[in-house]
């Protein structure tokens, strides 16, 4: 099913205090919807099913929260939100409480008495939005409670968040999501909205099939995050490169660094701490209480760098993450896009930085090949990996490549490394043929295979002890590639492995093996074009002036001296309130809202009305305190 236009809504919204526009203003404090939000909201309020693809930071939550409120006010009852993460449930419910909405969650953090209390309130229709994990939704106890609500006409909506988890092709597949077909089969008359930030055409089709959303209207927003700058560098000394990147571009900023292994997470976090960076580790091997403590600190404190495996991240709503760095390549573009999308949710400039090398290609290929999955699944995974490799090796605009993967056409962005500093491209066909020829001749002579370093030594004419041991200085290709640097040859090897013209045998110490695809390259029938080796971006001015560690928020960058003072005081007040409520500071007010308050310098409650992010409940709860803080300046 093709996506339908986003510009217009299905029907004109109703008027009055319960229509979506009024709810948006009254509850959430926003003057107008963004992009396709109103079309989605109107469609779901009217009882339609929807599949929503919207980038991280695009406002997906409002697309089901406002319909939930509208349908509850119209007498339709409770909305059930299927959410995969406890931390996300806590923050979403906390934010809704701050906005004056009755919301609750059911998860393992509640004791039996608390669970029963939530269930009783749900059955009485006192809860507008109830968050629960798919495992709980599928239990007989919960389904019987939903049956009771439906029989009384009090089951308003199902919202399935992070819907890509239902697909085996998605990067966060969770088998528990598959059982959510019961929602359509058992509650056919209750509207459903499935939402995700990341799904290519294959994953999207799988979501539709698995959740039986064939009749649902699809809303596909642009995947572009223009505030994010994409940079991919050749991996040499990755941790040193990361340190240089943070110190030059993001001193004092909040960020996330992704690593593939738990040990690497621990080592990198310690290296950052030793360098004076406020860093914490996060991986599944840590005690659950430690993980929770580190996540809470990341969400609630400023300037924390979280070094993590992919166990960390889904549902993280922190708006002021200024960079996401990858020290190891993800499995596919969906994973890369989802993870990088955690940067710059507030719309201010942010960086997606990745160090990428030959070993990444080898490791990812090996994980696919050694997987117990069927060959069809492996082929799809290889195709997804190939797309990411093409993005990493690209010499043209990264954003054009990234958006093209999701079926979106675009023009060069001017804000990725290739656009800012276009790389030189060289013809590596001759080097590729010489490398493959060397691999062939060495295998012929010795009867065994060798790794990349040894093959490159032979081609470059380096008579190492190992070369002499096996007599490989007598191979006819010895030294015929001495004009190529090691970095150039590694680039050639990456591309040969990426295109399947060469394979790596993980069972035999990562030795290189010729494939059926090698022949065309050896015959000169395939041209191998590569970007020049660049280990780090050229020195450039940061996009914001650096002052001391903990530079001012981008939201407050345009404020005058008095405004900056008000903004700082408001942030200090917000931190106290957030700590008292046990919530991240941005749940109280976003930086952009504080900056708008600081600029307006309000003297009365009326002066606060109309500022984006201040709804009726927040005005009542915090208006007087905000005026007091501002009056001090």
- At 416, the pLDDT band (50, 70, 90 cuts) reads very high
pLDDT at position 11 over 50: no
pLDDT at position 309 over 50: yes
pLDDT digits (tens, 9 = 90+) for 130-168: 999 999 999 999 999 999 999 999 999 999 998 988 887
Count CB-CB contacts under 10 A for residue 73.
15
Q: Give dist(CA 98, CA 581) in Å, integer.
A: 10
How far is residue 90 CA from its own chain's centroid? 19
Q: Which of 217, 221, 220 shows the shortest CA–CA distance to 50?
A: 217
What confidence score (pLDDT) does residue 251 get?
Answer: 93
Tell which phi-psi region holds residue 234, choosing left (phi > 0), alpha (psi between -120 and 50) or beta: beta
Q: Give dist(CA 508, CA 167) in Å, integer.
A: 34
Q: For tokens 């200085």, what's the residue?
A: 473
Can you say whether the dihedral through the CA atoms of 126, 130, 135, 137 is positive or negative? positive
What confidence score (pLDDT) does residue 552 get?
Answer: 58
- The single-letter DSSP state of residue 157 is E
Count CB-CB contacts under 10 A for residue 25.
15
Output the six-digit token pair for 293: 């403590």
pLDDT at position 538 over 70: no
- At 399, the pLDDT band (50, 70, 90 cuts) reads very high
Q: Give dist(CA 340, CA 354) in Å, integer.
A: 10
Share of residues in the chain with pLDDT > 90 (%): 56
What confidence score (pLDDT) does residue 574 get?
Answer: 94
pLDDT at position 6 over 90: no
Backbone phi, psi, residue 120, to 5°: -65, -45
| Whether 63 contacts 193, CB under 8 Å | yes
The helix/strand/coil state of 424 is: coil
Q: Give dist(CA 478, CA 470) in Å, integer.
A: 13
> Domains of the chain, with CATH numbers?
20-220 (3.40.50.300), 228-375+403-419 (3.40.50.300), 426-531 (1.10.10.10), 554-631 (1.10.150.80)
Residues ≥6 apart with Cβ < 8 Å to 184: 192, 211, 212, 213
pLDDT digits (tens, 9 = 90+) for 168-184: 766 667 788 888 989 99
Q: Give dist(CA 218, CA 207) in Å, integer.
A: 11
| Whether 164 contacts 171, CB under 8 Å | yes
What confidence score (pLDDT) does residue 3 get?
Answer: 36
Q: DSSP letters along 143-155, please? A: HHHHHHHHHTT-E
The helix/strand/coil state of 367 is: helix
What confidence score (pLDDT) does residue 535 get?
Answer: 42
Greater pLDDT, 598 or 360: 598
Q: Give dist(CA 344, CA 352) in Å, integer.
A: 10
| Whether 19 contacts 26, CB under 8 Å | no
Backbone phi, psi, residue 458, to 5°: -60, -50
Can you say whether the dihedral through the CA atoms of 584, 585, 591, 592 is positive or negative? positive
pLDDT digits (tens, 9 = 90+) for 283-305: 989 998 999 899 889 988 889 99
Can you say whether the dihedral through the CA atoms of 14, 20, 21, 25 is positive or negative? positive
What confidence score (pLDDT) does residue 491 get?
Answer: 83
Q: Which of 37, 40, 44, 9 shows the shortest CA–CA distance to 192?
A: 44
Q: For tokens 């809704």, what's the residue?
A: 96
Output the six-digit token pair for 447: 């009867």
> What's the alpha-carbon Rg for the chain, to the nearest Å?
27
| Whether 24 contacts 615, CB under 8 Å | no
What confidence score (pLDDT) does residue 441 get?
Answer: 92
| Whether 170 contacts 195, CB under 8 Å | no
| Whether 255 contacts 308, CB under 8 Å | no
| Whether 589 contacts 576, CB under 8 Å | no
Alpha helix positions (H), 313-374: 333-340, 358-369
Q: Which of 316, 323, 272, 326 shows the shortest CA–CA distance to 291?
A: 316
Backbone phi, psi, residue 18, to 5°: -100, 5
Q: Which of 99, 95, 151, 93 shows the shortest CA–CA distance to 127?
A: 93
Q: Give dist(CA 312, CA 326) in Å, integer.
A: 13
pLDDT digits (tens, 9 = 90+) for 98-135: 999 999 999 988 999 999 999 999 999 899 999 999 99
Question: Among 1-15, 105-119, 484-498, whose mean pLDDT is lowest?
Answer: 1-15
| Whether 210 contacts 216, CB under 8 Å | no
Q: Give dist(CA 611, CA 31) in Å, integer.
A: 9
- The single-letter DSSP state of residue 177 is G
Supply the mean pLDDT for the chain.
Answer: 87
pLDDT at position 371 over 90: no
pLDDT digits (tens, 9 = 90+) for 441-470: 998 888 888 888 899 999 999 999 999 999
pLDDT digits (tens, 9 = 90+) for 26-35: 999 998 998 8
| Whether 88 contacts 178, CB under 8 Å | no
What confidence score (pLDDT) does residue 358 get?
Answer: 81
Question: Among 91-105, 363-377, 390-404, 469-483, whose mean pLDDT is lowest?
Answer: 363-377
Output the six-digit token pair for 460: 């470059």
Q: What is the mean pLDDT of residues 512-529?
A: 86
pLDDT at position 506 over 80: no
pLDDT at position 273 over 90: yes
Can you say whether the dihedral through the CA atoms of 47, 48, 52, 57 is positive or negative? negative
pLDDT at position 560 over 50: yes
What confidence score (pLDDT) does residue 376 get?
Answer: 82
What confidence score (pLDDT) does residue 17 get?
Answer: 60
Q: Which of 319, 98, 116, 356 shows the shortest CA–CA distance to 227?
A: 319
Q: Give dist(CA 436, CA 590) in Å, integer.
A: 56
Q: Give dist(CA 292, CA 281) in Å, integer.
A: 11
Q: Give dist(CA 383, CA 293) in Å, integer.
A: 38
First and final CA of the chain: distance in angstroms? 57
- The single-letter DSSP state of residue 627 is H
Q: Give dist(CA 427, CA 75) in Å, integer.
A: 68
pLDDT digits (tens, 9 = 90+) for 210-262: 999 999 999 988 889 999 999 999 898 999 999 999 999 999 999 999 999 99
Q: Which of 328, 339, 405 shows the shortest CA–CA distance to 367?
A: 328
Can you say whether the dihedral through the CA atoms of 510, 536, 488, 422 is positive or negative? positive
What confidence score (pLDDT) does residue 508 get?
Answer: 63
What confidence score (pLDDT) does residue 57 get?
Answer: 76
Q: What is the mean pLDDT of residues 533-543?
A: 45
pLDDT digits (tens, 9 = 90+) for 62-86: 999 999 999 999 999 999 999 988 8
- At 275, the pLDDT band (50, 70, 90 cuts) reads very high
What confidence score (pLDDT) does residue 544 get?
Answer: 44
Can you say whether the dihedral through the CA atoms of 506, 511, 515, 520 is positive or negative? positive
pLDDT at position 523 over 50: yes
Q: What is the mean pLDDT of residues 522-528?
A: 85
What confidence score (pLDDT) does residue 281 get?
Answer: 96
């Amino acid at each position: 099913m093709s996506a339908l236009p986003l510009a217009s809504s299905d029907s004109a919204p109703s008027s009055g205090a319960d229509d979506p526009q009024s709810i948006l203003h009254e509850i959430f404090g926003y003057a107008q919807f963004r992009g396709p939000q109103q079309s989605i909201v109107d469609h779901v309020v009217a009882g339609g099913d929807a599949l929503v693809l919207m980038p991280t930071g695009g406002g997906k939550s409002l697309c089901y929260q406002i319909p939930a409120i509208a349908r509850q006010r119209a007498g339709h009852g409770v909305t059930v939100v299927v959410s995969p993460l406890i931390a996300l449930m806590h923050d979403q419910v906390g934010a809704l409480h701050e906005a004056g909405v009755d919301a609750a969650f059911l998860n393992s953090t509640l004791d039996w008495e608390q669970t029963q209390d939530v269930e009783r309130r749900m059955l009485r229709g006192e809860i507008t939005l109830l968050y629960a994990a798919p495992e709980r939704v599928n239990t007989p106890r919960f389904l019987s409670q939903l049956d009771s609500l439906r029989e009384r006409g009090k089951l308003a909506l199902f919202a399935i968040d992070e819907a890509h988890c239902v697909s085996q092709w998605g990067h966060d597949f969770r088998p528990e999501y598959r059982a959510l077909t019961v929602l359509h089969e058992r509650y056919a008359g209750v509207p459903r909205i499935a939402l995700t930030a990341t799904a290519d055409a294959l994953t999207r089709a799988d979501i539709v099939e698995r959740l039986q959303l064939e009749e649902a209207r699809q809303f596909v927003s642009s995947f572009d995050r223009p505030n994010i700058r994409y940079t991919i560098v050749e991996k040499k000394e990755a941790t040193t490169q990361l340190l240089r990147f943070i110190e030059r571009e993001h001193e004092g900023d909040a960020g996330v660094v992704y690593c593939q292994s738990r040990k690497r997470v621990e080592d990198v976090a310690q290296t950052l701490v030793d360098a004076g960076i406020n860093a914490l580790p996060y991986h599944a091997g840590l005690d659950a209480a430690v993980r929770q403590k580190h996540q809470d600190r990341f969400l609630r404190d400023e300037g924390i760098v979280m070094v993590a495996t992919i166990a960390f991240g889904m549902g993280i709503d922190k708006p002021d993450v200024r960079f996401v760095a990858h020290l190891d390549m993800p499995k596919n573009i969906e994973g890369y896009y989802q993870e990088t999308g955690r940067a710059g949710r507030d719309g201010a400039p942010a960086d997606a930085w990745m160090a990428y090398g030959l070993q990444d290609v080898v490791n990812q290929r090996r994980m696919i090949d050694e997987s117990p999955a069927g060959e069809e699944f492996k082929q799809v995974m290889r195709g997804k990996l190939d797309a990411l490799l093409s993005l990493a090796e690209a010499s043209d605009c990264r954003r054009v490549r990234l958006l093209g993967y999701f079926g979106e056409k675009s023009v060069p962005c001017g804000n990725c490394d290739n656009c800012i500093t276009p790389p030189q491209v060289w013809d590596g066909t001759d080097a590729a043929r010489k490398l493959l020829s060397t691999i062939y001749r060495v295998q012929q002579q010795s009867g065994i295979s060798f790794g990349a370093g040894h093959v490159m030594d032979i081609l470059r004419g380096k008579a190492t002890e190992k070369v002499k041991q096996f007599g490989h200085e007598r191979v006819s290709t010895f030294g015929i590639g001495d004009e190529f640097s090691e970095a150039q040859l590694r680039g050639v090897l990456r591309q040969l492995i990426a295109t399947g013209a060469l394979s790596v045998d993980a069972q035999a110490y990562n030795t290189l093996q010729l494939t059926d695809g090698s022949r065309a390259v050896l015959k000169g029938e395939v041209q191998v074009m590569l970007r020049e080796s660049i280990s780090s971006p050229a020195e450039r001015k940061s996009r914001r002036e650096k002052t001391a560690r903990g530079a001012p928020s981008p939201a407050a960058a345009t404020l005058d001296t008095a405004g900056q003072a008000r903004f700082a005081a408001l942030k200090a007040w917000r931190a106290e309130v957030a700590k008292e409520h046990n919530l991240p500071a941005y749940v109280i007010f976003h930086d952009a809202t504080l900056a708008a308050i600081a600029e307006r310098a309000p003297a009365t409650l009326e002066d606060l009305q109309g500022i984006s992010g201040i709804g009726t409940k927040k005005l009542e709860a915090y208006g007087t305190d905000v005026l007091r803080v501002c009056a001090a300046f």
